[in-house]
């Protein structure tokens, strides 16, 4: 099973964003690096939810904002490793709509359940497969790193 690794600060930021936007879904991108074990996320970038018809149970990131986030990632030597969003008063598992609208193969999709305004469970799912026809979500373990030191520096010090 692949793993998602992120710092305590990133984990807390994702959950706080869900609480702040309740009762609507929040959304954002996760910036990091891929390793043989899975994604190492170093930053969560908030995005605006452009869904006005059903923002309480759907999200969408504007294409122009996504391009801006991707440029920011490249400028920091990172890649978009996935996306996060909240599920207000709904479990932290993907919905049929989440699956239908997920197209970034190899990326992670993190979902936080926000119950009555308070972040509850947070889960991660890797969008696996090689084509749109064989894509599937695989649940991942989330490793929260207890430091705000950049993950790259942390892993280099462990290798030394």
Average pLDDT over residues 46-75: 90
The whole-chain average pLDDT of the chain stands at: 90
Instruction: Say if residues 129 and 10 touch (Cβ distance below 8 Å).
Output: no
- Please give the structure tokens belonging to residue 30: 């996760």
8 Å CB contact between 97 and 58: yes
Which pTM value belongs to this model? 0.89
For residue 80, is pLDDT > 70? yes
Nearest to 103 by CA among 124, 122, 81, 131: 131
Structural domains of the chain, with CATH: 3-159 (3.40.140.10)
Specify the pairing of strand 3-7 against strand 136-145. parallel
Q: Is the pLDDT of residue 54 over 80?
A: no
Q: Which residues pair with 132 in a beta bridge?
A: none
How confident is the model over 112-158, as pLDDT tens digits? 999 999 999 999 999 999 999 999 999 999 999 986 555 544 433 33
Angstrom distance (rounded) from CA 118 to CA 22: 8
Q: Where are the alpha helices (DSSP H) in 22-134?
A: 63-75, 96-100
């Amino acid at each position: 099973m692949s793993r998602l690794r992120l710092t305590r600060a990133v984990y807390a930021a994702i959950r706080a964003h869900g609480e702040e936007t309740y009762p609507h879904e929040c959304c954002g991108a996760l910036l990091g690096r891929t390793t043989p074990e899975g994604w190492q996320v170093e930053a969560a970038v908030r995005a605006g939810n452009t869904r006005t018809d059903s923002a309480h149970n759907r999200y969408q990131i504007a294409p122009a904002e996504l391009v801006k986030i991707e440029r920011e990632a490249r400028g920091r030597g990172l890649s978009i490793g996935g996306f996060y969003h909240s599920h207000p008063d709904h479990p932290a598992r993907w919905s049929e709509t989440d699956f239908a609208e997920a197209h970034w193969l190899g990326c992670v999709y993190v979902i936080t359940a926000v119950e009555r305004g308070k972040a509850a469970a947070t889960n991660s799912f890797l969008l696996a497969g090689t084509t749109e026809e064989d894509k599937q979500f695989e649940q991942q373990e989330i490793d929260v790193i207890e430091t705000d030191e950049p993950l790259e520096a942390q892993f280099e010090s462990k290798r030394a």
